[in-house]
Amino acid sequence: MEQLKVILGERSYPISIGSGIIEKDNIFFPLKSGNQAMLVTNKTLANLLKDKVFFQLRKSGIKVDQVIISDGEQFKTLNEIEMVISALLEKKHSRDTTLVALGGGVVGDLTGFAASIYQRGVRFIQIPTTLLAQVDASIGGKTGVNHLLGKNMIGSFWQPSSVIVDVNFLQTLPRNELVSGVSEIIKYAVIFDELFFNWLEENIEKVLLLDHQSMCFCIKKCCELKSKIISLDEREKNFRALLNFGHTYGHAIEAHSGYGTWLHGEAISVGMVMASRTSELLGHLKKTDYNRIIALLKKVGLPVKGPKNMSAASYLPYMMRDKKVISGEMRLVLPISIGKAKVFSGIDKSIILSAIKDSQ
């Protein structure tokens, strides 16, 4: 087992990474024997992993209840939050309870948000089960739910007490979910680490085959990069915005198509292509780098073209509701080379539209 730490003063927390670590003693930090907890998971995982985790919590002497929410991005709503809070109240959970999120990004975001507002804030633990959640969504304390008009528009910053990454859980993933998660790995390489990008070009097949060493290397690398950014900029005042590379375009695809129609990683893949093309049109990104990004995404099996039934102009209203918009001005994260990105504002709309059209 390897352990990293997100350094945030009193709110610092460990990220534990390894195989089968859910069975280790004292893994559910900061829970102790006699503590109260609520396990939150979805209907799919209730059949796959829930009993194992529930058993381990009980074995640790924790008084645990459970609530099972619907599975899918389309259920990342205030209705499901109400269901979690109702379960907490019905089971008489007090302010010293801990919510335990067992699932992908939807379960983690939703559970974290419920934890942030239940009795004005209780602890929560992340146990991510998808690759996307293990490398990205479970770390950093961004919690929330979607609104019909925009993704993640209702939420809060609320850091977990610990993150437990059991690599064995990835064996339960459908192929398309695994592929979707790889898009976030590629995101980290494009914006922060050219050597990591080179490594991915050589080793991506091993990652997709769940080769243990390669997968652990990838997860640890992404967790290290994200931990460093969170420690520097917890509430996205500057550096953290870089983590949104591809997301302004990708969130537009998700909202327009109907949440759950496109997997998050699939939409972000296309978003990264559009952002890279925008950068190339502006004269920042070299054509060779743009082509390498597309080639790696294709090698993984990720989409590089947007929805056929979505016009370029229909992206803009969603992009203007993006959380990075300040005083009505759109800000976009664009790669300027492989391994380096910047936030740009004041980009001519015609260039953005051209980049979208070129990726349709």
Q: Known binder of ligand: residue 130? A: yes
Supply the angle between the helices 175-192 and 287-300 in degrees, to the nearest 10: 160
| For residue 307, cis peptide bond before it (omega within 30 degrees of 0) | no
Active site residues per annotation: 120, 142, 184, 226, 236, 240, 244, 247, 251, 264
Residue 254: both structure tokens together = 């998700």
Please state, in angstroms and rounded to a whole number, the distance separating the CA atoms of residues 144 and 123.
Answer: 15
Q: Known binder of ligand: residue 105? A: yes
| For residue 30, cis peptide bond before it (omega within 30 degrees of 0) | yes
Q: Known binder of ligand: residue 129? A: yes
Q: Known binder of ligand: residue 80? A: no
Q: Known binder of ligand: residue 44? A: no
Q: Known binder of ligand: residue 55? A: no
Q: Known binder of ligand: residue 194? A: no
DSSP letter for each residue of 126-158: EEE-SHHIIIIITSS-EEEEEETTEEEEEEEE-
Instruction: Write phi, then psi, for 111 (nearest 5 degrees).
Output: -65, -40
Q: Are 112 and 38 in contact (CB under 8 A)?
A: no
Q: Is 340 helix (H, G, I), strand (E, B) or coil?
A: strand
Q: Known binder of ligand: residue 172? A: yes
Q: Between the CA of residue 200 and those of 183, 194, 195, 217, 234, what are the distances in Å?
A: 11, 10, 9, 11, 28
Q: Known binder of ligand: residue 77? A: no
Q: Known binder of ligand: residue 357? A: no
Q: Known binder of ligand: residue 271? A: no
Strand ordering across the sheet containing 162-166: 2-6, 13-18, 162-166, 123-128, 98-103, 36-42, 63-69
Give me the amino acid identity at 214: S
Q: Known binder of ligand: residue 151? A: yes
Residue 110: both structure tokens together = 């939703």
Q: Known binder of ligand: residue 29? A: no
Q: Beta-carbon neighbour count of residue 230 at 10 Å?
A: 23
Q: Known binder of ligand: residue 284? A: no
Q: Known binder of ligand: residue 41? A: no
Q: Known binder of ligand: residue 96? A: no
- CA nearest to 300, candidates 208, 231, 213: 208
Q: Known binder of ligand: residue 75? A: yes
Q: Known binder of ligand: residue 106? A: yes
Q: Known binder of ligand: residue 107? A: yes
Q: Is 342 helix (H, G, I), strand (E, B) or coil?
A: strand
Q: Which helix (H) or strand (E) holds 313?
A: none
Annotated binding-site ranges for NAD(+): 71-76, 105-109, 129-130, 142, 151, 169-172
Annotated binding-site ranges: 71-76, 105-109, 129-130, 142, 151, 169-172, 184, 247, 264
Annotated binding-site ranges for Zn(2+): 184, 247, 264
